[in-house]
Amino acid sequence: MSETTARMDDTGSGESPRVPQVTVEVHVQPGDARRALHTEVLAGLCGEATPKELSPKWLYDERGSQLFDEITRLPEYYPTRREREILQSYADDIARASGADTLLELGSGSSEKTRLLLDALGHTGRLRRFIPFDVSEAFLRQAAEAVALEYPGLAVHAVVGDFERHLGKLPGGGRRLVAFLGGTIGNLKPAQRARFLSEVSAGLAPGDGLLLGTDLLKDRKRLFDAYNDSAGVTAAFNRNVLHILNRELGADFVPEAFQHLAPFDEENGWVEMRLVSSRPQEVHLAALERRIHFAEGEVLRTEVSCKFRPEQVEAELSAAGLHLRERWTDAAGDFALSLALKR
C-alpha cells in the first residue's frame, strides 16, 4: 500500500511553511519479522544445519545497531572509512558516469554517504527523485522526511521492504542508480549473491545502474583484527544476538557462555563470525517449545563477510546481465565501488 505524508516546518512567521511531500510504500506487515525469526531458528538452530546458523540481519536491534556504529569508528575496522574516502573523492565522477536522475538506496538511508551521492547527482542538474529502501518503517520515515527537508524539490518515495523478498516492488521510471553500499553484498553467500544480483538486474531498465560496494581481499591479519577488535566491541555485538533471542523467543541463552571468534575461511573467501560454546549446554526456546544442545566448542555462525577480487566482482555482475562501467578504490586499495549498467 502507499500513502503520502507531509511534515511542516514551524517557521514562527506568518508565511506559509515549506511542506515536503514524502511517499511511503509499505510491504512489510506487523508480525512478519517475528514469523521469519521463528522459521529461521527452527531451521538453523533446531534443525540439522551444521554449523548452527542465523542470518546477520538478526544482529541489528537497537542495541546491535548502536554497537555496529561503534565498530565503524574503531581503528581496526577500515571498510566504512575507506568507502567514505572513495565517495568523497569520486562521487561527482560516479554521478556523471551513471547519468542518473534517481537515486535508489538499499538500506541506510540517513547516512553521510547518501548525502554525498545526492549532492553529486544534484551537481549534474538531473537529480529528481530519491528512493530509500529499508526494512524498518520507523527509521525509514524519519530518514525520508529528513532528506525531503534538506533537499527542497526532491521527490522522496520511501519503500519499506526486505531486499530478500521485495526487490520486485521497487518503483520504476527515470534513469535510476541503485546503491548497495557498505560491503553488505558480502553477507550473502555465492548462491544468494547470484540470486540477489539477478533480481536487481531484472528490475533495471537499459541504462540504469548499480553502484556496488565490496570489501577487497587483503592481508589476513588485517582482516582478523577488523573483526576481532582489541576493545571487544565486535564480541559484544555478536553476543547481542543471544540477548535478542532471549527477548524474542523466551530463550535462556547465557551470552557469557559463548566466545566470539571471527576467523578467515580460506576455502570460501570470507570472514566468519562465530559464537563458540565454552561448555556443554542446553538452551530452552520457550516460544518454540524446543530445546537445543551445544557441545563444548560447538559453533553458532552469525555472519559471513565475503572478501572479493576485482575480477570476481566483474564476473558476478556480468553473469547477472550488468556491464561494469567503472571501478573506484581508496588510496590503499582496501575497498571498491563498482558502477555496472544494465545492458
Instruction: Name which of 273, 314, 308, 242 is nearest 63 in CA terms.
Output: 242
Contact between 97 and 211 (Cβ < 8 Å): no
Cis peptide before 280 (omega within 30 of 0): no
CB count in 10 Å sphere of residue 217: 16
Q: Domains in the chain and their CATH numbers?
A: 21-28+77-217+309-342 (3.40.50.150), 54-74+220-306 (no CATH)
Using alpha carbons, list the distances in angstroms from residue 21 to 5, 146, 284, 325.
Answer: 6, 11, 48, 34
Q: Which residues contact 187 (CB under 8 A, 6 or more apart)?
A: 56, 303, 304, 305, 306
The pLDDT of residue 13 is 41
User: pLDDT digits over 224-268, tens only?
Assistant: 999 999 999 999 999 999 999 999 999 999 999 999 999 999 999
Residues 17, 32: Cα–Cα separation, whole Å: 38
CB atoms within 10 A of CB 30: 7
Residue 163: per-residue pLDDT? 87
CB distance 260 to 239 below 8 Å: yes
Q: What is the CA radius of gyration of the chain?
A: 21
Contact present, 208 and 341 (Cβ < 8 Å): yes
Q: Following CA atoms 168, 169, 175, 177 in sequence, which dihedral angle do they give, to the nearest 10 degrees?
A: -80
Which three-class secondary structure state does DSSP give residue 21? strand
**Cβ contact 147:114 at 8 Å:** yes
Work out the angle between the directed axes of helices 112-123 and 79-98 (0-180°, nearest 10): 20
Q: In the chain, which stretches have pLDDT less than 50? A: 1-17
Q: Characterize the bridge pairing of strands 52-53 and 299-306.
A: parallel
CA distance 65 to 135: 14
Task: Say what the pTM is.
Answer: 0.93
Crossing angle (nearest 10°) for helices 62-71 and 233-249: 170
The per-residue pLDDT for 7 is 39
Give the cell for residue 184.
553488505
Q: Quickly count: other Cβ atoms within 10 Å of residue 195's Cβ.
A: 14
C-alpha cell at 52: 548452527
Three-state DSSP class for residue 84: helix
Neighbours of 141 (CB within 10 A): 19
pLDDT for the residue 263: 98
